[in-house]
Copies of this chain bind each other. A is one copy, B any other.
């Protein structure tokens, strides 16, 4: 998919694109200011589900990024929306820090909802979820990312636990965050922009670029965050461009 001649909106992944842990990626703060000056509407999409949105936004602001809470679409919020829409009463296996944001587990659950519980992914918690799945409950997961980058290296993400539960239970998970097409499309609907007129910038070939591509949105891949050499040569997922970092992606967009 080519870049739109005149992009009308930009979707931006957060971790690995704008920052790693609590460090802004060099040049990213200034590049975001430049992009804002161009007047394009922006939405920030994140599969991070270990923190509530207010903390994600305040961390970004502390790093110097001018981002408002309503511009950030999280997999937690999208999951809460889906649960309400369907009237579900889930059992939640999530990080305690998002318990207030997502809601609390029901005593007689009709679904299992998984977030990135991190160190709270205990064997006992996983076995409880497994047994509910074996009783026929559906599995809804906020994300299924393989790993993310922390300061000290690549780190296991919740996708390992999703794949593990799927394997043992035989139940296939429904993903709410990236790479699910509705996650990208609902952000664009809010802005009234068609997929072919939008661009996504991400560091995750499969969940960012591949997910956007499947939703009809062109993706630019950055060589920061979880990017690994070889990602740009995938047989089916084809970023419109692979650039060094967010600043280079913004230059590319504004040059047009």
Residues in chain B near residue A168, CB distance under 8 A: 146-147, 156-157, 159-160, 163
Against B, the Cβ 8 Å flags (1 = close, 0 = not) of A121-165 are 111101100110010000000000011000001111101111111
Number of identical protomers:
2
A160, A162, A167, most chain B CB atoms within 10 A: A160
A154 touches B167 (CB 8 A): no
Known: A118-B123, A122-B122. A154 touches B131 (CB 8 A): yes
Residues in chain B near residue A161, CB distance under 8 A: 164
- Other-chain contact of A156, B117, B126, B163 (Cβ < 8 Å): B126
In the assembled complex, A110 has its CB within 8 A of some CB on chain B: no
Task: Please name the residue on chain B nearest to A118 by beta carbon.
Answer: B123
In the assembled complex, A119 has its CB within 8 A of some CB on chain B: yes
B130 touches A123 (CB 8 A): no
Assembled-state Cα–Cα distance A210/B167 (Å): 17
Task: Please name the residue on chain B nearest to A163 by beta carbon.
Answer: B167
Task: Please name the residue on chain B nearest to A121 by beta carbon.
Answer: B123
In the assembled complex, A166 has its CB within 8 A of some CB on chain B: yes
A122 touches B124 (CB 8 A): no
